Chain A
Amino acid sequence: MKLMHIADVHIGVTPDLNKPWSQARAQAVKDTFAALIGIAEKEQADLLLIAGDLFHSQPLKRDLKEINYLFATLSRTQVVIIAGNHDYINPSSNYNSYPWAENVTFITSSELTQAEFPWLNTVVWGLSYRSREMAEPVLDHIKAPDDGRFHILLAHGGDPKHLPLNYRQLSRAGFDYIALGHIHAPACSKELGIVNVGCPEPLERTDFGKRGYVLAEIEKGSRDIRWIPCSTAEYIPVTLEVNVHTACTELCRQFADIVSQRGRQNIYVLTITGYRDPDVEFDPEALSALGNVAQINDLSEPEYDFDKLYHEHSYDMIGTYISAFLGESEHSSLHKKALFYGIRALLNNQSR
């Protein structure tokens, strides 16, 4: 039995709001979803499992129409969907009583429900979110019957406020495949058959790494689970080391090299570390112009040899200023910054 497993598509999300690539990424999420449907068709999967958060918030009727159309293009695949904590089903939700295509089963109940597919000899167990949180570990004591059919669990959760899961218990519950959603970073345990597939496109700047979907072939007694990347862009963390000789243009050149090496389409999170020339300041706008820069953390510190300065300037303000700070036992970042600002101002106003 061949199945495809996706989750947390979050159609409708606008990642990195107000950045130039925000709209392109929002569209990429939708395009990748359509592509995934195409893959399901190409692979002629028996089941397409969508483990929640298909939409980033309550879908409008026209949104449902679009995806229903895509589902209807599948010739063989049966789609099983549950609602997650973002697109949870409330009384005014359009998920209630939407006329889905024939091959779509939307499990709307918040209690564990079985969807049977006799011609596949399969039962899919699933439950949806009907509120924003689900703190009860309702899946802790379930057991799948040993009746020769394939039993698949479809659920959205894994943290204390959203369906806390006991993975060990789940692994012994007798399911042939456990399809999970909610956690955006993929984590598969092929031995236990528990798969947290993650989102198909990264959604925020802490989602480092590639993202994708899972294709699995299930037999009684064996499962072949493959996680396949499909994201069109990645968030990449980059650390740039600077020293007293590094100028802003050099840093820009370094970064430009990295961007051309690792891909212009990707989105970068920059961290600058090291000790820089006190007169040099790194221009965030110049760096942002070289690629998609989601965030710049400038952790570099101006290189001041405070001991030397203190010694040289023990007669004057600089020395006194430094001594005011050296009294501190802990160098909090506030004190460090104040020290730098003061020293720089004083040094710049030194008359010879």
Chain B
Amino acid sequence: MKLLETEIKDFGKLHQKKYTFGPRINLIGGLNESGKSTFHTFLRSMLFDMERGRGRASKNDIYSRYLPWDRPGNYGGSLDFTSGGHTYHIERCFLAGARSSSLYDVTTNRAIGDIPAALPPLIGGLRESSYNNTVSIAHSRAATDGSLINDLKNYIGNLTAAGSGDINLSGAVNDLKKEHKALEKKLLPFQDSEYHALKSHIADLEEELDTRSCTGSLEALAAARDSAKQELSARTSRRETLNRLILQARNALAGSGFQNAEEASAMDNRLTNAYSTYIRYNRGKPMCQSKGLVFLFNLLAFVLLFATLYFFHLGSRAFLTKNYLSSLSFILPYLISLLAAMHLRTRAVKSRIGIAAAQFLSSYFDAVLSDRAITSENCDRAHKKVVDYLTLKEKADQCAAEAEHELQKIFQLQESLNEVSARIESQQRVDWELDHKQEELQKDRILLQEMEQKRDHNQKIREEIDALDLALYVMDNISSTIQKTFDPYLNRTASEILESLTDGAYSDMRVDENLSITVVSDYRDIPLESLSTGTVDQVYLAFRLAVIRLFWPSEPMPLILDDAFASYDDKRLTGTLSWLHSNYRGQVLVFTCHSREKLLLKASGVPFTEICI
């Protein structure tokens, strides 16, 4: 594409100007404030139309800045250019309310409608942003390193076979990443493992509740406990009654004077014996005189015995039967008196026994019956008392035995009562556990439902996240594919140009995937940041020139250098301009306010067209 000529009707300070471009280097010069940037803006506006700012931005946008205040009606102009062998004429009017553009194919005498769609292909696919990225180089662009990288990134990311795009790829990627983050924030906490754990816990609970035995026995146990309790209290009160009876009996027995039953029956026997003795032995009449008699009879018996023995002794000398007889006659009274003595003695003894018995009886009756009289009634009464004692004792003993028996039973009952209570407690616990588990199951089921809701929610969001991931992946793929295609060639081309431009000072430059440029000099890698501004400009220039060469391998585009050499010294400038003349096949528009370009071009014999604003 080549610019031919342009007519400015009214644009800023430029009125009714016509300029014709040369085929190669064009030096567009003028003093400061002459309208160079106006001219450049005009060219851009003709190629890409003019965007009005919105709202407050409209006060200072390009439209307002260049709107002629005296003759707004002609705000616009025309531009003629060639492209693909055809010549085109484009006319635009920028005045708000009367905006118009027309594109005319001069070669075929055809008007072209739909300029926004039709024009870009004619100008090599250029849009305003790519224009700034490629063919239009201004000095200020090189200084901003931060955006340089981004620009290069976008730049490379937008490269296609046909031309440069205008899409901020890193911006798009950032947007996607932001959306990704926002969606990730919307994910609810959900753990698959927790979910499955809960599910199996619920299954376990259901299984447990399905197989545990039922609660029926609680009533039976309670009934058993109640009856045991009743029995226990019955027996306890019975025992108390018995104990009371025993106490009463014991008190009564204590007053009877006996220690135990043996003593009582012994006493009873004594009584009976004593009484019968008493009755038999003369009712207790003392026989004290028998003592004297007894002695007498004993003496007599002794004398008689002696006499008997004497006569016997005598008798043995004189064999006289009379002595035997006399001894015999003495023996008999002796025997009789002995017998009498014995009888008397036994009588005495018996009477003593009788008296003792009487004493015993009377004292006993006195003590027990308060009646000394020894009568059969008293005897009966005493006997009855013993009998009463014995009966009472027996009863008391019986009661004691029964009380003991009740005590044993009570112990047994208490034990079984404890056992039943324990069983009731454990059954109640089981029941409570079952109820509790039932409630737990219900709660868990609701929890599971909630977890499922969360899971479904997350699933939906994940689908979106997956789509975003895919979008990012594809974008990444595209940009890296493009990079891979162009990088080596780009690096080689840019390196060649750089070497040429810098006269061999820097012969190698690389742009890597992170789009950091390194320059090689003397076998050393030098990052871009550590080079001087002028060198950076040249690197930038080399890079752009390489890109331009790649984009437009066949039809060259005009290269616009708007005050791009401010930091170049004369030597560098000469070198660059010569290089451009030799190597750049397209038009070069050099905007400058200095005269040195002119001088240097003249000095080096490079042909150029001069356009004075």
Could you list which residues of chain A lie within 8 angstroms of chain B, going by C-beta atoms?
A: 12, 14, 17-18, 57-58, 60, 90-93, 96-97, 131-132, 312-321, 324-325, 333-335, 337-342, 345-346, 348-352
> In the complex, are the beta carbons of A341 and B435 less than 8 A apart?
no
Contact partner of A345 among B176, B211, B477, CB < 8 A? B176
Contact partner of A334 among B172, B212, B442, B466, CB < 8 A? B466
Q: Chain B residues with Cβ under 8 A from A325's Cβ?
A: 474
Tell me, in angstroms, the Cα distance from A351 to B169 when the chains sit together: 11
Q: Chain B residues with Cβ under 8 A from A340's Cβ?
A: 467
Tell me, in angstroms, the Cα distance from A108 to B128 when the chains sit together: 84
The answer, yes or no, to whether B438 is at the interface (CB within 8 Å) is yes
The 10 closest A-B pairs by CB, nearest first: A316-B165, A337-B467, A349-B171, A338-B470, A342-B471, A345-B172, A349-B168, A349-B172, A90-B210, A338-B471
> In the complex, are the beta carbons of A334 and B470 less than 8 A apart?
yes
What 0/1 pattern do residues 207 to 223 of B give for CB contact below 8 A with A?
A: 00111111110000000
Closest to A339 in B: B471
A132 to chain B, nearest CB (A): 7
Closest to A342 in B: B471
> In the complex, are the beta carbons of B172 and A58 less than 8 A apart?
no
Q: Chain B residues with Cβ under 8 A from A346's Cβ?
A: 167, 169, 172
> In the complex, are the beta carbons of A316 and B158 less than 8 A apart?
yes
Tell me, in angstroms, the Cα distance from A341 to B183 when the chains sit together: 13
Q: Which of A12, A58, A131, A338 has the most CB of B within 10 A?
A: A338
Tell me, in angstroms, the Cα distance from A97 to B218 when the chains sit together: 13
> In the complex, are the beta carbons of A92 and B214 less than 8 A apart?
yes
- 10 A-B residue pairs with Cβ-Cβ distance under 8 Å, sorted by A, are A17-B449, A17-B450, A96-B216, A317-B165, A318-B165, A334-B470, A338-B467, A342-B471, A346-B167, A346-B169
B168 to chain A, nearest CB (A): 4
Q: For the side of the interface on B, what is the size category?
A: 35 or more
**Given A312-B117, A317-B169, A341-B471, are A57 and B213 neighbors across the interface (CB < 8 Å)?**
no
Tell me, in angstroms, the Cα distance from A91 to B212 when the chains sit together: 6
> In the complex, are the beta carbons of A92 and B215 less than 8 A apart?
yes
Tell me, in angstroms, the Cα distance from A337 to B461 when the chains sit together: 12
> In the complex, are the beta carbons of A342 and B158 less than 8 A apart?
no
> In the complex, are the beta carbons of B211 and A91 less than 8 A apart?
yes
The answer, yes or no, to whether B160 is at the interface (CB within 8 Å) is yes
Tell me, in angstroms, the Cα distance from A324 to B471 when the chains sit together: 10
B180 to chain A, nearest CB (A): 9
Tell me, in angstroms, the Cα distance from A351 to B479 when the chains sit together: 18
Q: Chain A residues with Cβ under 8 A from B388's Cβ?
A: none
Tell me, in angstroms, the Cα distance from A4 to B166 when the chains sit together: 75
Chief secondary structure at chain B's binding surface: helix
Closest to B212 in A: A92
The answer, yes or no, to whether B51 is at the interface (CB within 8 Å) is yes
Q: Chain A residues with Cβ under 8 A from B179's Cβ?
A: 341, 345
Q: Chain A residues with Cβ under 8 A from B474's Cβ?
A: 321, 324-325, 338, 342
What 0/1 pattern do residues 351 to 366 of B give for CB contact below 8 A with A?
A: 0000000000000000
Q: Chain A residues with Cβ under 8 A from B482's Cβ?
A: 320
The answer, yes or no, to whether B237 is at the interface (CB within 8 Å) is no
A301 to chain B, nearest CB (A): 12
Q: Chain A residues with Cβ under 8 A from B213's Cβ?
A: 91-92
Tell me, in angstroms, the Cα distance from A131 to B449 when the chains sit together: 22
A323 to chain B, nearest CB (A): 9
The answer, yes or no, to whether B125 is at the interface (CB within 8 Å) is yes
> In the complex, are the beta carbons of A341 and B166 less than 8 A apart?
no
B219 to chain A, nearest CB (A): 10
> In the complex, are the beta carbons of B450 and A57 less than 8 A apart?
no
Q: A91-B213, A313-B165 are in contact. List 20 more A-B contacts (CB 8 A).
A: A17-B446, A18-B450, A60-B438, A90-B210, A90-B211, A91-B211, A92-B438, A96-B216, A316-B158, A316-B160, A319-B160, A337-B464, A341-B176, A342-B471, A345-B172, A345-B179, A348-B171, A348-B172, A352-B51, A352-B129
Tell me, in angstroms, the Cα distance from A314 to B165 when the chains sit together: 9
The answer, yes or no, to whether B14 is at the interface (CB within 8 Å) is no
Q: Chain A residues with Cβ under 8 A from B475's Cβ?
A: 317, 321, 342
Q: Chain B residues with Cβ under 8 A from A341's Cβ?
A: 176, 179, 467-468, 471
Contact partner of A315 among B51, B125, B438, CB < 8 A? B125
Q: Chain A residues with Cβ under 8 A from B441's Cβ?
A: 57-58
> In the complex, are the beta carbons of B166 and A351 less than 8 A apart?
yes
The answer, yes or no, to whether B445 is at the interface (CB within 8 Å) is yes
A7 to chain B, nearest CB (A): 21
> In the complex, are the beta carbons of B209 and A316 less than 8 A apart?
no
> In the complex, are the beta carbons of A334 and B165 less than 8 A apart?
no
The answer, yes or no, to whether B77 is at the interface (CB within 8 Å) is no
**Given A316-B158, A342-B176, are A350 and B166 neighbors across the interface (CB < 8 Å)?**
yes
**Given A314-B162, A341-B179, are A58 and B449 neighbors across the interface (CB < 8 Å)?**
no
Tell me, in angstroms, the Cα distance from A346 to B167 when the chains sit together: 7
The answer, yes or no, to whether B321 is at the interface (CB within 8 Å) is no
Contact partner of B167 among A97, A324, A339, A350, CB < 8 A? A350
Q: Chain B residues with Cβ under 8 A from A12's Cβ?
A: 442
> In the complex, are the beta carbons of B211 and A338 less than 8 A apart?
no
Closest to B472 in A: A342
What 0/1 pattern do residues 101 to 139 of B give for CB contact below 8 A with A?
A: 000000000000000010010000101110000000000
A332 to chain B, nearest CB (A): 10
The answer, yes or no, to whether B182 is at the interface (CB within 8 Å) is no
Tell me, in angstroms, the Cα distance from A345 to B471 when the chains sit together: 10
